Chain A
Amino acid sequence: MKQLLILSGKGGTGKTTVASAFIKLAKAKAYADCDVDAPNLHLVTEWNQKPVRRDYYGLPVAELTAELCTSCDLCRQHCRFAAVSAGDPYLVDPYACEGCGVCAYVCPTGAIEMVPAVAGDLKLYRDEEKVFSTAQLKMGSGTSGLLVTEVKNEMKTFACDASLAVIDGSPGIGCPVIASLSGVDMVLIVAEPSISGISDMERIIRTAEGFDTKIAVCTNKHNMNPTISEKIEQYCEGEGLPFMGRIPFDPAAVKAVNDAQTIVDIDCPSGVAVTEIFENTMALLFNRVSSIADG
């Protein structure tokens, strides 16, 4: 199974719009939403049945039993996350706690125990043909990278004979993005033609280059700023990164999303453009590179 990950660095450039179109065009049998902070792919994919849900346990959280606490202050002194506050009784802030277990280790009276904590919700949609894995991180939780890996594992477990998996990624370059990059065959970066967009694209490319994966770029809303759009293509050429195509700004795309549709469900310019990008991407992913027209 070839895994294609859609990333962008900057948020809101159109990852989910592109991913949902690809899923439709490929009739993908396996796909996942790794943007566990703000998952949206389920809003534009058609599933009649409800998903199978299960709790995701992140790192354990310190729990302090007030009756055993002697206020020796050792836990507070050793906590690097400022999660323990002195007082009567001592308190652990579960949101600040990163689950290291140092407080429980140093506590002389055994007043602190590390207990498992639900940090999110895994959801698996599945029928005879296809599987869709998604999740929602609990607010303020810090282990999004772990949850991303769980999401991908769930998808892989049930994607028996799928030749392609489409994975919608999250913005940024940090822990969830790094977790989503692990093991994928190709990354398609959706860039937006703005000064911010170029800066963010360069940072996500540098991050992805740390992994053994193909990297390609496409632009969305390219006509919003043709000058910068051109710069993005020049940058790709300079870096030797394959450029997959341009999607124009298209009011119909907003309408499609608000009707819970993908841009290839309706007849619109962005749908035509994304179809071409899809074909170029598949050619590169499955090593049929010769079929891509140069430039």
Chain B
Amino acid sequence: MKVAVLSGKGGTGKTLISVNLAAVAGLSTYIDCDVEEPNGHLFFKPDIVREELITVKIPQVDNERCAGCRTCVQFCNYNALAYVNNKLIIFDDVCHSCGGCVLVCPESALSEMDKVIGKIEIGVSGDVSVYTGILNTGEATGIPIINRLLEEGSLDENKSILIDCPPGSACIVMESIKDADYCVLVAEPTLFGAHNLNMVYELVKLFEKPFGVVLNKDLNEENPVDQFCADKGIEILGRIPFDHTLASLNSNAEIVVYKKEEYREKFVSLFETIMEKMQGETPSDEPNIVSLMAKRQCCEGAVNKQRDVQRCPEEARRSPVPSESGNDTASGQERMCVDALRDEQSDVSPGEERGAS
């Protein structure tokens, strides 16, 4: 069984909850899907038994063959290619590895090569198998790492699997929860906490996942999260009281259930509650694509009207100029606007373009 621990807001205690649940779950697997800022390994301090580099496919160009037709540049929806000064430039950090440019090139001038974006580490800490994904800094997306982590970490289905998700409710969270049997939503009793809880609540409802809420840093007084849960009829599975000792242990990356009996009892009881809830649920099927599509379309009644609207310029896809072409920019770290370059098609220097923003 797989339990995903998530929260819209960061810093509410996803890692505290998932690490300590894994620690009381007997033989278990802890998977840290927060590949941008992985922290679970700091608590478990696992002995690493295996490491695997994660690569994605990115295009490379054979300049001898490239005829400068720009078919690939026009095809790429991510603006990962630009043709500047009679040369094809590839911005591999915004490339989504779709393979489209290689397909469309009439000269077969493009091929794919592997690029390392991060790694997964598999380790052991007592009864817990610890799976950690680490995205290299400067890389835009850790989704390939998450997919590999979940694939590897889910092999032993007899274990309790705890998935520590990234914050938010975007694609990266969706990847992390898509195969979960149960979702634990961690919230803190603030206005921000309630607002962000609402987002993940909508997400788990959309994916038809059974779920419950854990209130962390509970001050035992009226708060916006209790109010929200009462209004929506959401069950609170457990409460972790605000407590200086716990906060201090946790800040030192200690696993609190190993340190104090009182905390162990708390997490054992939370784990048992989650198990009971899961048994009461019929296992959820894969999300039904047809129903997802229907939902999406009802939110987007305006789509058809907009068919002719030009695509949103991907100005965000500003890429660092590869450092070997450092002569174009002072540091090789200058950002350039690919779109602007595409429009100008030639001699605009990145520095000038940047000044316009």
Interfacial residues, chain A to chain B (CB-CB below 8 A): 8-13, 16, 37-38, 40, 43-44, 55-60, 78, 80-81, 85, 91-95, 98-102, 105-106, 115-118, 137-142, 144-146, 148-150, 153, 156, 170-175, 177-179, 182-183, 192-197, 199-200, 203, 206-207, 210-212, 224-225, 228, 254, 257-258, 260
Is the pair B141, A12 in contact by a Cβ cutoff of 8 Å?
Answer: no
Distance (Å) between the CB of A239 and the closest chain B CB? 14
Minimum CB distance partner of A16 in chain B: B192
Which residues of the partner chain A approach B169 to less than 8 Å between Cβ atoms? 37-38, 137, 139-140
Q: Which of B291-310 contact A (CB under 8 A)?
A: 292-293, 296, 299-300, 302-304, 306-307, 309
Query: For the complex, what is the distance from the CA of A163 to the CA of B306, rounded to whole Å?
Result: 37
Minimum CB distance partner of B142 in chain A: A174
Which residues of the partner chain B approach A258 to less than 8 Å between Cβ atoms? 190-191, 223-224
Other-chain contact of B289, A37, A85, A254 (Cβ < 8 Å):
A85
Is the pair A94, B311 in contact by a Cβ cutoff of 8 Å?
Answer: no
Which residues of the partner chain B approach A197 to less than 8 Å between Cβ atoms? 251
Which residues of the partner chain A approach B335 to less than 8 Å between Cβ atoms? 182-183, 211-212
Known interface pairs A13-B11, A105-B104, A228-B252; A183-B357 also in contact (CB < 8 Å): yes
Minimum CB distance partner of B41 in chain A: A199
B172 beta carbon closer than 8 Å to chain A: yes
Other-chain contact of A194, B78, B138, B251, B331 (Cβ < 8 Å):
B251
Other-chain contact of B302, A16, A81, A118, A177 (Cβ < 8 Å):
A118
For the residues of B in contact with A, the DSSP-based class is: loop
Which residues of the partner chain A approach B317 to less than 8 Å between Cβ atoms? 145-146
Query: For the complex, what is the distance from the CA of A10 to the CA of B137, rounded to whole Å?
Result: 14
Distance (Å) between the CB of B186 and the closest chain A CB? 11
Interface residues as binary, B208-248 with A (CB distance below 8 Å gives 1, 0 otherwise): 00000000000100011000000000000000000010011
Other-chain contact of A105, B103, B141, B196, B251 (Cβ < 8 Å):
B103
Distance (Å) between the CB of B11 and the closest chain A CB? 1
Interface residues as binary, B87-115 with A (CB distance below 8 Å gives 1, 0 otherwise): 00000000011111001100000000000
A40-B196, A139-B174, A141-B170 known; 8 new pairs, CB 8 Å cut-off, are A10-B39, A116-B306, A137-B169, A142-B172, A171-B168, A175-B141, A183-B335, A196-B37
Q: State the 9 A-B residue pairs at the shortest beta-carbon distance, nearest first.
A: A11-B10, A12-B11, A37-B168, A100-B98, A194-B251, A142-B171, A195-B253, A149-B316, A172-B36
